[in-house]
């Protein structure tokens, strides 16, 4: 039997640079087009039954890029966060983030906090933006929080379960993604949702992120629906 539509999809939005290069444009225009693609996709995905979407916008490793490119990406993040804030009366998205926001500028941190606050009771798609996000960093911070709680006598070592660890990650409260999509063909996770994707299905497409459309999303969901998810068990009728 086909799997249901995934409730949570993670997207590694890769290929903005290659898209720009192909068109002889500066990389930042690739990021600009990538943001437009996401904006359109979120609107087109309404009503499909997908409840949570987590998008990888900026990784803990992306600070290795040039100052120009980083400030271009941060400017686009600010622009879209403010756009969603301005449009909030007409929008039903709930916006969240994962990642260590303390490394972002104070005004960006404030804008994100403000958008999270105004959108927290909305019932449309729950959009989580991964900003200055790295799974290893997220797990490290979770371990630090847990260790502090043990030190303070609020937890026993034996209270540390898989569920407790999940609850200390930035993604606490959001179910694990059933499907992770990566555009632009790279066969790696690049530090995205390592803990949460233990049993996610991966879908890799060669499409560059700025060219990704709702039909590509539907193809990814169809492929997911035909996967045999075994979770370490056996689905065939036992003989």
Decide if 16 is catalytic. no
| 212 touches ligand IPE (CB under 6 A) | no
Residue 231's CB: how many other CB atoms inside 10 A? 8
Residue sitting closest to Mg ion (CB): 14
**Residues in contact with 82: Cβ distance below 8 Å, sequence separation at least 6, in sequence order:** 111
Residue nearer to Mg ion on the CB measure, 6 or 99: 99
CA distances from 239 to 232, 234, 235, 236 (A): 18, 12, 12, 9
The site string for Mg ion over 9-48 (x = CB under 5 A, - otherwise) reads: -----x----------------------------------
Among 3, 62, 109, 166, binds ligand IPE (CB under 6 A): 62
Beta partners for 204?
Answer: 182
Residue nearer to Mg ion on the CB measure, 14 or 201: 14
Among 186, 194, 213, 218, binds ligand IPE (CB under 6 A): 186
Name which of residues 105 to 144 contact ligand IPE (CB under 6 A). none
Residue 189 binding partner per list Mg ion, ligand IPE, none, with a CB distance cut-off of 5 to 8 Å that depends on partner kind: none
Q: Which stretch binds ligand IPE (CB under 6 A): 57-65, 95-103, 158-166, 167-175?
A: 57-65
Residue sitting closest to ligand IPE (CB): 17
| 56 touches ligand IPE (CB under 6 A) | yes
Residue 50 binding partner per list ligand IPE, Mg ion, none, with a CB distance cut-off of 5 to 8 Å that depends on partner kind: none
Decide if 62 is catalytic. yes
Residue nearer to Mg ion on the CB measure, 3 or 189: 189
Q: Which stretch binds ligand IPE (CB under 6 A): 6-14, 90-98, 118-126, 211-219?
A: 6-14
Cβ at position 231, least distance to ligand IPE in Å: 27
The residues that are catalytic are 14, 62
């Amino acid at each position: 039997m086909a799997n249901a539509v995934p409730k949570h999809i993670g997207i590694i939005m890769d290929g903005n640079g290659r898209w720009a290069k192909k068109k002889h444009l500066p990389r930042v225009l690739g990021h600009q087009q990538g943001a437009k693609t996401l904006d359109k996709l979120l609107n087109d995905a309404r009503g499909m039954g997908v409840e949570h979407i987590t998008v990888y916008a900026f990784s803990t490793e992306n600070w290795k890029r040039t100052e120009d490119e980083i400030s271009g990406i941060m400017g686009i993040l600010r622009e879209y966060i403010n756009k969603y804030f301005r449009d909030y009366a007409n929008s039903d998205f709930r916006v969240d983030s994962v990642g260590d926001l303390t490394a972002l500028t104070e005004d960006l941190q404030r804008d994100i906090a403000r958008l999270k606050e105004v959108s927290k009771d909305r019932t449309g798609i729950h959009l989580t933006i991964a900003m200055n996000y790295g799974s290893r960093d997220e797990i490290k911070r979770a371990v630090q929080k847990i260790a502090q709680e043990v030190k303070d006598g609020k937890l026993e070592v034996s209270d540390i379960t898989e569920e407790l660890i999940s609850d200390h990650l930035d993604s606490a409260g959001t179910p694990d993604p059933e499907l992770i999509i990566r555009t632009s063909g790279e066969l790696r996770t690049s530090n995205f949702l390592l803990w949460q994707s233990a049993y996610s299905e991966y879908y890799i497409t060669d499409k560059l992120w700025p060219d990704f459309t709702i039909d590509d999303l539907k193809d990814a969901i169809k492929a997911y629906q035909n996967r045999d998810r075994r979770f370490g068990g056996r689905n065939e009728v036992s003989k």
